[in-house]
Amino acid sequence: MTAPVPPRPGDPVRVVMTKWGERPHWEFDAVLLGTDEAGDWLGLPAGGTMSRPGADYVAPVDQALLVPAEGAQASRGWLATFHATEGPLHTYVDMTTPPRWDGRTLRAVDLDLDVIRENDGRVWLDDEDEFAQHRVELGYPDELVALALSTSERILAAVEGRRAPFDGSALAWLSLVERLSV
């Protein structure tokens, strides 16, 4: 059996997020824009649809998503979404298990915690209550809890400090999303 072929820039890709225990969560189609030292950049144009059981969300503006570059697993437990300037938010970072490519499908488990930066610059950690609840209800292993907590602290500091890749470098990738059509 041959290994799945990794996607190349311009290829359509599928993002599949689950909750712990293989519970379905958000899924959507995107396009691989390219790769740089920060990781793989995906594009979701305005009008693209994200779906999960019981809910659909239509992207109001172009979005560029960053899958962190390969490296130590402990540093890769997140996925970032950068919104076009007229969007409802500037940056939304999901704490996840380290994302992995399975051919043209990106897979990760959402671990509830999110770091959010609004357009006015306010930054905060969201869904701590959901994380605490799911930690018990879904039986998160201790190493998963440690990953989510340490990653959220590191990402919160990076977003607050506007350190790469949260320093505005996503704007170049967002400009590529404008050329995509839904």
Confidence of residue 71 (pLDDT cuts 50, 70, 90): confident
Sign of CA dihedral 106, 9, 84, 160: positive
Looking at CATH, the fold of the domain delimited by 12-170 is given as: FomD barrel-like fold (2.40.380)
43, 25 contact by CB (below 8 A) = no
> What pLDDT is recorded for position 66?
97
Domain boundaries, the chain: 12-170
61, 82 contact by CB (below 8 A) = no
Does the pLDDT value for residue 74 go beyond 80?
Answer: no
Closest by Cα among 75, 72, 89, 71 to 170: 89
Mean pLDDT (the chain) is 93
